[in-house]
Amino acid sequence: MFNKDKLPTNQIMLSTEIFNEISAVLKDLEVSIRAELAIFCETSGIPITSAGNQRAIDLSSLSTLAAANFAATAEMARMLGEKDGFRFLFLEGERYNIYLCNVGYEYLLTIAISKSIALGMLRIYANRAVKQLHEILEKAKTQEKASAAIFDNEFSDLLGNAFDASFKKD
């Protein structure tokens, strides 16, 4: 059943400038911890940008699975009474580990790293990246509000002028 209350409300339109800043954070993260792959995606699973080795990996599928995994974990957190859910999720594999991070504003960061990378180092750099991404999204949100206010005022003026013109007698 469709529930409009479950629709994302914090999503932000990303400008080219913001996109490039996010991409730079991912590239820095990838280099700093030698990540196999870092993906920034929507909580719906739609990939936005990535850094790292994307050889034969379907980013769309991986992002969707990461988002579904995070959503399931969020529901478990809710059932346990966690008000804001879990911010991080660690998946341990035979050769690779995956670290999922809630960035906020309906976005996730997925990091795939070699098993040889120390978990402590991963956590430090992931926390730093999440903080940077959140700050970038805060800036984007502020820019979006300013743009919306300008657009709303201009649109209202144009619409008012169009109505006035349509009712004027020649």
Delimit the domains of the chain by residue range: 4-141
What are the 10-residue block averages of pLDDT along the chain, 170 residues in total? 43 87 98 97 96 90 96 94 92 96 94 96 98 95 71 62 69
pLDDT of residue 158: 67
105 backbone φψ class: left, alpha, beta (φ>0; ψ -120 to 50) = left
pLDDT of residue 3: 40
pTM of the model: 0.80
pLDDT of residue 10: 58
For the domain with range 4-141, which CATH number is right: 3.40.50.720, 3.30.450.30, 2.60.40.420, 3.40.50.300?
3.30.450.30
pLDDT of residue 81: 95
